[in-house]
Amino acid sequence: MKKCMSFKMFAAACAVLLAFPFASQADDAKFVEGKDVPQEYVNGQGTPFVLIPAGEFMMGSDIHARNAENYCSNTGPCHLVKHSKPFYMGKFVVTHEEYEKFVNATGYETAAEKAGIGSTYRVEERDGGRYGNWGMIEGCTWRTPGIDISPRHPACTINFFDVKAYIDWLNTVEKPENDFGVPCVYRLPTEAEWEYACRAGTTTDFFWGDRAEDGKGYLCCAGTEGAPLDAVWGEHFPFDDGFIASAPVGSFKPNPFGLYDMLGLVWEWVGDYYAPDYFQHSPEVDPKGPEKGDEKGTVIARGGCWGQDQFYNNCWARRPIDPHYGGCALGFRLVLVPCDR
């Protein structure tokens, strides 16, 4: 596989990792000017956030996707991205119990609840075998996503607008400015923020290295354990991850930045619209994605999920997705930043 790597990138990656423990003390890029902040921040909902340092990295991949018109389209060109300021990112994806707090407080109904149908896992019989697949099922919602869940499982079967409603609510009930002294806002990460945080100073296909088989213990994925409903995965990682489907957040080892489940578990909504050629002309410093999307408003999800293999569960795979879609392998993670970002 072609690597997007140079001596400059190697040096930059090393610098990021060396700077990470002291990120809150960096003179050139503070989360709040003139104020030291904690490495980990826990908000009023009990949600932990990890401080991600400013730095630069090589984003994307020049590898040609085997399915270029679907999940992994337009992963290149590999290009330099600089993050000029630190930001806080959720240590975990938002959980079922966290989303439930929002619904109980507001009476909000998700799109799947209103429609009475949602996307979930199902079995497809072909070639004499039973294979895991995805499809629309009546009664599938965030409360009943069609797979076993617990309060600590990721919130799923929620579309982009359901996520936005949660964030709007969180920004009304949480007052992080009381802790940081400046107005702050919760939002989805940009795609560049997400990949930078996922890679955590590494330059390989996965944050643990280039070998898929070395990922055991790092992610919830399609593995040798098989699929739900006595099915099998068509393609999978070469190990048993310990879970037939999804898993509680934090069940696996974190990446070098201390973030859990950045690969596998659930695809994660990011805040960027999708444009096939965006990486060809995106800004080098703090890119925020295209200003507008296509006629559907297609946005990006990153990170892969519990039902997919190493071609999707890696640092560079991109999934363009209809914002009205919500499925049992799709969730979200938040960032916290001052309002001027």
Write the DSSP assignment of 254-294 as a string of letters: --TTS---SSSSSEEEEEEEP-TTGGGT--SBS----SS--
Question: Residue 150: is its pLDDT beyond 70?
Answer: yes
User: Which has more pLDDT, 229 or 167?
Assistant: 167
Banded model confidence at residue 16, pLDDT cuts 50, 70, 90: very low
Banded model confidence at residue 86, pLDDT cuts 50, 70, 90: very high
Q: What is the mean pLDDT of residues 222-248?
A: 88
For 19-73, the pLDDT digits (tens) are 333 333 344 468 988 788 999 999 999 999 999 999 999 999 887 544 445 556 6
User: In sequence order, what are the residues at sequence separation of 6 or more whose Cβ sits closer than 8 angstroms to the Cβ of residue 33?
Assistant: none
Which pLDDT score, from 0 to 100, does residue 27 have?
Answer: 43
Q: What is the mean pLDDT of residues 287-310?
A: 94
* Spatial distance between the Cα atoms of 241 and 213, rounded to a whole number of angstroms: 11
Which pLDDT score, from 0 to 100, does residue 71 have?
Answer: 52
* Spatial distance between the Cα atoms of 112 and 120, rounded to a whole number of angstroms: 11
Supply the mean pLDDT for the chain. Answer: 88
User: What one-character-per-residue DSSP string does 160-197 give?
Assistant: HHHHHHHHHHHHHH--THHHHSS-EEEEPPPHHHHHHH
Coil/strand/helix, residue 227? strand
Question: Residue 7: is its pLDDT beyond 60?
Answer: no
Question: Residue 160 CB: number of other CB atoms within 10 A?
Answer: 23
Q: What is the mean pLDDT of residues 282-304?
A: 95
Report which of 50, 53, 52 is spatially closest to residue 42, judged by C-alpha positions: 50
* Spatial distance between the Cα atoms of 338 and 330, rounded to a whole number of angstroms: 27
Which residue has tokens 């599938």?
140
**Overall pTM surpassing 0.75 (yes/no):** yes
Give the alpha-carbon dihedral of 62, 67, 69, 70, to 10 degrees. Answer: -100
User: What one-character-per-residue DSSP string does 122-156 give?
Assistant: EEEEETTEEEEEEEEEET-SSSS-SS---TTSBP-
Which pLDDT score, from 0 to 100, does residue 73 have?
Answer: 66
* Spatial distance between the Cα atoms of 147 and 131, rounded to a whole number of angstroms: 16
Q: What is the mean pLDDT of residues 69-81?
A: 78
